[in-house]
Amino acid sequence: MKPTFTVLGCAAALWLMAVPSRSAESAAPPVTKPNIVFILADDLGYGDLACYGGTHIKTPRLSQLAREGVRFAAFYASGPECTPTRTALLTGRYQQRVGGLECAIGTGNVGRYDDAIRLREQNELGLPTSEPTIARMLNEAGYATAITGKWHLGYEPKFAPHLHGFERTFYCIGGGMDYFHYLDNVAGYNLFVDGNPVRREGYFTDLATDEAIRFVREQRECSFFLYLPYTVPHSPYQGPADEQLDPLPLDSPLWNQSAAPPGVYAAMIEYMDLCIGRILDTLDELGLRDNTVVVFTSDNGASRAGSNAPFSGHKGSTNEGGIRVPAIVRWPGVLPAGSVSHQVGITFDLTASMARIAGVQPAEGKPFEGIDLLGHVADGKPDIDRTLFWRKPRGKSLWSGVREGSLKNIGKRDGDRFDEFFFDLASDPAEQENLRDARPADFARLKQRYDDWEREVRADRRGQPED
């Protein structure tokens, strides 16, 4: 049976704890809303984890989390790159509705396609504070909120996470950075608190974890939302033992996202797994396990440095390997431990679930576009068919995709060349047989659905939509 939670903010809970009771028999500790720990890996592939069939990287703590929670086998990132997925996670809506964030913001604050370029020229490339975020919703509902990790939703101070509902912030601002010296690959400094650069020493995975644990300890008597977006295993490829006296040279091959030394790539993920274990152990130590929802997933599939097995494609594409990602959620007593869900899900489903857990509603006129995925699994409902969409422009290229039930269309435009594919994932999850000509009616139906969706969401962009 699903437990009932009393809706109490941190201040209310502490006030109740201080009020003397009329009798010992009637005294009872306040029940706070469930805590939420949301851990996001960066460029982690479906086949990189042992609990998803990986054999070359040891991730025992994530395997433990899967044994204690639900492992989702058909979960998708909202975008094939990091900025789009992070936008969808925080807003609970397709990233296309925000404008300029359909593609990762380039290092040094660079727009990479028409709308992003236009917004950058106006100093508007980032997540506007006018967009409601799940962090702000939870904070207004009494949650203590924190981000410790990667932001990548705008370089300028006006886009900083403390303006989006995060009370505690410690983050790198861009796509990637030297894990020890915090410089990106154009020599920009990348470590911030509340929009201001800060100095630290140590391996960034450790720093983000330390800040996260400090936050949890400080808020243990309150309901809290911890967003922990690691930079692992995004380039540059540096393990915890790879510190050098000087920053990584800008021309180092370790910046190349497609060519990680296998041993270093594994060391980065294994160390993240160890740090996640530190978070889980802290929850146990403080007696918070049973009232904490722990979510783990990735912002997109692996680059060519990692594994998306058994799927084809990599980060940046709308092939399964670019967008199907691991997702594990533990909620003791609510979600069935050790189970595997084949319900198709997507990043912003988790936003809807977090809102329901906290008892908050989306802003008027900006409804969530996902389903309450965790509630669906907790209630034991049968799997339902979904229709999901993807779109990622960059320069003169464009990847698109739509999944309806087990059927999927993919479009790939590169300059003047345009290729289209149609797959039935039920029989061909690796997308090896293009059925476009064999099933023209199904292909045309999905293509029309995508065209209708694209027309609707792009009409909401700031500025004029493309012809």
Residue 341 CA: distances (Å) to CA of 74, 230, 345, 382, 418: 8, 25, 10, 10, 35
Q: pLDDT confidence of 460, banded at 50, 70, 90?
A: low
First-last CA distance in the chain: 53
pLDDT surpassing 70 at residue 322: yes
Tokens 């009616």 — which residue? 441
Cα-flanking dihedrals φ and ψ of residue 86, to 5°? -65, -35
pLDDT surpassing 80 at residue 108: yes
Q: How many CA atoms lie within 13 A of 129 on its CB side?
A: 11
Would you state the pLDDT for residue 458? 80
pLDDT surpassing 70 at residue 27: no
Catalytic residue among 82, 103, 222, 275: 82
pLDDT surpassing 60 at residue 402: yes
Topology at the third CATH level for domain 35-384: Alkaline Phosphatase, subunit A (3.40.720)
Catalytic residue among 103, 152, 172, 181: 152
pLDDT tens profile 123-172: 999 999 999 999 999 999 999 999 999 999 999 999 999 999 999 999 99
Q: In angstroms, rounded to a whole number, what is the distance separating the alpha carbons of residues 306 and 309?
A: 9
Q: Which conformational region is residue 165 in: left (phi greater than 0), alpha (psi within -120 to 50 degrees), or beta?
A: left
Rg of the chain's alpha carbons, rounded to an integer?
A: 22
Q: How many CA atoms lie within 13 A of 156 on its CB side?
A: 13
Would you state the pLDDT for residue 461? 53
Specify whether 56 is catalytic.
no
- All residues at 6 or more sequence positions from 245 whose CB lies less than 8 Å from its CB, including other chains: none
Would you state the pLDDT for residue 405? 97
- Written out in words, the top-level CATH class of the domain with range 388-458 is alpha beta
Q: pLDDT confidence of 306, banded at 50, 70, 90?
A: very high
Tell me, yes or no, if the two domains 35-384 and 388-458 fold the same way: no
Would you state the pLDDT for residue 5? 33
Q: What is the SS3 string spanning 339-354?
A: EEECCCEEHHHHHHHH
Lookup: tokens for 372: 């309450």
pLDDT tens profile 161-185: 999 999 999 999 999 999 999 999 9
More confident residue, 43 or 462: 43
Is the separation of the CB atoms in 114 and 466 below 8 Å? yes
Q: Is the peptide bond before 197 cis (omega within 30 degrees of 0)?
A: no
Would you state the pLDDT for residue 32? 78
- The domain spans of the chain are 35-384, 388-458
How would DSSP label each residue in 261-321? -HHHHHHHHHHHHHHHHHHHHHHHHTT-GGGEEEEEEESS---TTS--TTS---TTSSSHH
More confident residue, 274 or 18: 274
pLDDT surpassing 70 at residue 22: no
Specify whether 82 is catalytic.
yes
